[in-house]
Structure 1
Amino acid sequence: MKVLQVNCVYNKGSTGKITYDLHKGMLEVGIESVVCYGRGINTKELAVYKTCPEWYSKMNNALSRLTGIMYGGCFFSTKKLISVIICEKPDVVCLQCINGYFVNIYELITFLKKNRIPTVIVLHAEFMYTANCAHAYDCEKWKNGCGHCLRYHKETNSILFDNTALSWKKMKNAFSGSEDNMVIVSVSPWLKNRAEQSPMLLHHEHRVVFNGIDTDVFKPTIKAELIKKYKVKNKKIVLHVTARFSDQNKGGKYVLQIAEKLGNGYVVLLVGNGLPLQEKVPENVICVGAISDPIELASYYSLSDVTVITSKRETFSMVCAESLCCDTPIVGFYAGAPEQISHPDYSAFSKYGDVDDLLSNVIYWANRKKDGKCAKASKSMYDRTVMINHYIQIFEELYERGEK
């Protein structure tokens, strides 16, 4: 069996690492594996193809701002990707996160459908069934066609036109007739429930596979030098890890509100990009900055007594998985997936925006003694080997159907 994955990036970011882990995991068990990706640096790995130059991706990004169609265009890079698929002749194609202005999604789905190539589509966000936004939040126009979008400037980056209805129609046409040869995998039960309500994916087969992490890295690994560096001995440590603190969806303002209420007996560590200036945060807040080394990040999770997530919407939450595997409990707001994918014995969630209840949960969990049970229970849920085996099982099922 040969499996070809397509993702925006390779071995970079959460979906790029998942693509990499799947690729290596399949090779280890004798499955032929090929990867195509569109963004980032070129790699010299065998059977890994970069199908889109950076300048071309940026050009298509700029064009989409004029047309209001984010997932079209990309004529030459889509042609190159399809030529790789034709040349490699995979038994199964797995589409991971394919936004990023490197492929015409409508044309790719249509090609796979017409050529009856067994396909797995992994939903890491909502754009494959909203046809526009990555997070629909409380809007339900994606259920009947979009259009007249109040947020089209922000969600599609369109300068002039609201073409959300046209994008929706193009995506629906692409998926129409693909039901027999396509499996939709969501990374959380919450996302699966949403996808099943979509007119585009209503009659498809749906599965759930949790994202996996390297539990040989994300495990209890306290480093004494961090305690000395930040002078946090005998203090309770609250951690907030985010891709970008300034992103409104991530709710960074709530973390600062909690810090003010906690006082000097607690230290709040902020890890990520776009952190506020040190002089604009409470005295008990330390801005660590972005951490690219997963081993170092694991040491911050392990150092902390509790990790706080304040997102308005998440389709999974790698922070939840990583923190729990490092034996550190999670508290946050109800945000869709986190409350479903977190281990229920080591997490607590509050109504979005209810800072007082969130604060109570922070204090409760920060003062519970760690005993290693959280990490042990979480490893069986989030270990990347579990994820790889689930995907291989799905690929094999699709392959066997094709053989028949």
Structure 2
Amino acid sequence: MKIVQINVTYSSGSTGQIAQKIHKFLNDKGIENHIIYGYGPKKQSGHLSIYNYWTTHLHSFLSRYFCMQGLGSLLPTYKAIKFLKRINPDIVHLHNIHGHYLNYPLLFYYLKKRNIQVIWTFHDCWPFTGKCAHYSEKHCMKWKTGCFDCPNLSTYPDSKYDGTRRNYRLKKRIFLRMPNLHIIANSNWLFGEIKSSFLKNKNIYKIYNGIDTSLFYPRNREAWRKENKYNQTDIIVLGVSSVWKKEKGFDVFLKLSTVLPDNYKFVMVGVNEKQLRELPDNIYGILRTENINKLAEIYSGCDVLLNPSKEETFGMVTAEAVACGIPAIVSNSTACPEVVSCCNAGMIVDMDNLKEVVDALLKLGHTNAELKQEISDNVREKFSSTVMCENYFKLYQSISIEKSN
């Protein structure tokens, strides 16, 4: 059995880390596997970077002005296909194929022609919409019947021109013609959304994302607090995002910083330089970090995670934080409640109701050590990367057996 994964990044970001975990798991099993990726180290043994400066920037231009995300990057995609011809994999496992690095019609034409088994993990909603990776903030459900007049043009992948009708029809035609397409939803919520899309009759499975429990576990709570000069009586509310914007709840933190008692302090990881300069004194901003150990130390040193995002297909940040022993407060939207509810790991609130959020923070800010350990154990048992990889491996095996028959 040979496996090739394809993802926008090699090891950074949540999808890159997931691809890496699967790669290591398969290596330990002695199974040949490779990763084709857009962004990451130029040369990585056994893997292929298809990044090209000029085609990436041209693809970005086509996407931003003509709504052509996934329709550029011909040369990099030919390079990926050449690699696939040489490896001749039994299964191609797709992750995020948008991001200005790959031409999906060309790739799917090759995969269909060669009758290759395809597993596709949906990490967002882009595969079944005319453009949008997320749509819940705008309450747009046009994707159920056919996208047009997009109300979400300014969000990723943003575009000046509305090409959503064309994109929707193209995706529907290409993806439905794939005979060996197996789709993975990473939450119950996303599973339900896919079942309402044009892909509803495809093979759809649910496999939760996994976190590395050898890295995300309760660290020394006092060490990080002492290093950053916090008092023992301070209640530290943490927010983590790769990009902070309105949809991720940036404004919620600003509002809360003015209404909670003085011993409530705020930490926001992932802010940019401009946001860092504009934060009030009681919010400590930290630039985005890829240092997992540092992030786990921050999680462990805080008292409660606040994840105001209303657009999550799983919620890796929530799972990571709870695995480190702090309870979480999440929005009652999309997949956000799943980690919390299934592990009894915090509270689910209406993020538009400031009083409800404040009451939750006042309650969970004083969670005792015994309960923190209990929620950490629950999350580590249900959402570990080992559990995730074993589930993917079982799927690989069943698909390989089905193919051989």
Shorter-chain TM range is over 0.9
| Partner of residue 404, structure 2 | 403
Name the aligned partner's letter for residue 400 of structure 1: I
| Partner of residue 27, structure 2 | 27
- How far did 1:41 drift? 2.9
Classify the secondary structure of the residue corresponding to 1:4.
strand
- Measured in 1, the distance between the counterparts of 2:156 and 2:212 equals 32
Q: Check conservation: 2:92, 2:117, Cα contact below 8 A.
A: yes
Classify the secondary structure of the residue corresponding to 1:7.
strand
| Partner of residue 144, structure 2 | 143
Task: State the Cα deviation string for residues 239-269 of structure 1 (Å, max 9, x = none).
Answer: 1111122x12101111121222112121111
Pairing 1:2-401 to 2, within 5 Å after superposition = 2-45=2-45, 47-137=46-136, 138-159=139-160, 161-178=161-178, 180-199=179-198, 201-222=199-220, 224-228=222-226, 229-245=228-244, 247-274=245-272, 280-342=278-340, 343-371=342-370, 372-401=373-402
- How far did 1:153 drift? 4.6
Moved more, 185-194 or 278-287: 278-287
Q: Check conservation: 1:241, 1:319, Cα contact below 8 A.
A: yes
Name the aligned partner's letter for residue 40 of structure 2: G
- How far did 1:52 drift? 2.8
Name the aligned partner's letter for residue 33 of structure 2: S
Q: Check conservation: 1:8, 1:39, Cα contact below 8 A.
A: yes
- Measured in 1, the distance between the counterparts of 2:211 and 2:145 equals 36
Name the aligned partner's letter for residue 167 of structure 1: N
Task: State the Cα deviation string for residues 350-400 of structure 1 (Å, max 9, x = none).
Answer: 123111111111111111212111111111112111111111111111111
Change (3 A) 1:195 1:295: same
Point out where structure 1 has 5 or more consecutive residues left out of the alignment: none
- Measured in 1, the distance between the counterparts of 2:297 and 2:156 equals 35
Pairwise CA RMSD of aligned residues?
1.7
Change (3 A) 1:131 1:109: farther
Task: State the Cα deviation string for residues 105-143 of structure 1 (Å, max 9, x = none).
Answer: 122223222322111010000001114110022111111
- Measured in 2, the distance between the counterparts of 1:104 and 1:276 equals 34
- How far did 1:230 drift? 2.5
- How far did 1:299 drift? 1.1
Change (3 A) 1:20 1:30: same
Name the aligned partner's letter for residue 125 of structure 2: E
Name the aligned partner's letter for residue 70 of structure 1: Q
- How far did 1:73 drift? 2.1
Moved more, 89-98 or 252-261: 252-261
Change (3 A) 1:147 1:100: same
Classify the secondary structure of the residue corresponding to 2:9.
coil
- Measured in 2, the distance between the counterparts of 1:394 and 1:220 equals 32
Q: Check conservation: 1:275, 1:287, Cα contact below 8 A.
A: no
Q: Check conservation: 1:2, 1:33, Cα contact below 8 A.
A: yes
- Measured in 1, the distance between the counterparts of 2:306 and 2:286 equals 15
Q: Check conservation: 1:306, 1:366, Cα contact below 8 A.
A: yes
- Measured in 1, the distance between the counterparts of 2:112 and 2:266 equals 50
Name the aligned partner's letter for residue 260 of structure 2: L
Change (3 A) 1:151 1:386: same
Classify the secondary structure of the residue corresponding to 1:348.
strand
- Measured in 1, the distance between the counterparts of 2:8 and 2:53 equals 12
Change (3 A) 1:202 1:114: farther
Change (3 A) 1:110 1:341: farther
Classify the secondary structure of the residue corresponding to 1:206.
strand
Classify the secondary structure of the residue corresponding to 2:300.
helix
Change (3 A) 1:362 1:122: same
- How far did 1:226 drift? 2.3
Classify the secondary structure of the residue corresponding to 2:216.
coil
- Measured in 2, the distance between the counterparts of 1:225 and 1:197 equals 48
Name the aligned partner's letter for residue 180 of structure 2: N
Moved over 6 A (4+): none
Name the aligned partner's letter for residue 304 of structure 1: C
- How far did 1:35 drift? 0.9
Change (3 A) 1:221 1:111: same
Name the aligned partner's letter for residue 215 of structure 1: T
- Measured in 2, the distance between the counterparts of 1:326 and 1:155 equals 30
- How far did 1:152 drift? 2.6
Classify the secondary structure of the residue corresponding to 2:177.
coil
How many residues are matched?
A: 399
- Measured in 2, the distance between the counterparts of 1:239 and 1:134 equals 25
Q: Check conservation: 2:339, 2:345, Cα contact below 8 A.
A: no
Q: Check conservation: 2:220, 2:300, Cα contact below 8 A.
A: yes
Moved more, 146-155 or 83-92: 146-155
- How far did 1:280 drift? 4.4
- How far did 1:291 drift? 2.9
Moved more, 135-144 or 121-130: 135-144
- How far did 1:278 drift? 6.1
- Measured in 1, the distance between the counterparts of 2:303 and 2:230 equals 15
- Measured in 2, the distance between the counterparts of 1:150 and 1:44 equals 41
Point out where structure 2 has 5 or more consecutive residues left out of the alignment: none
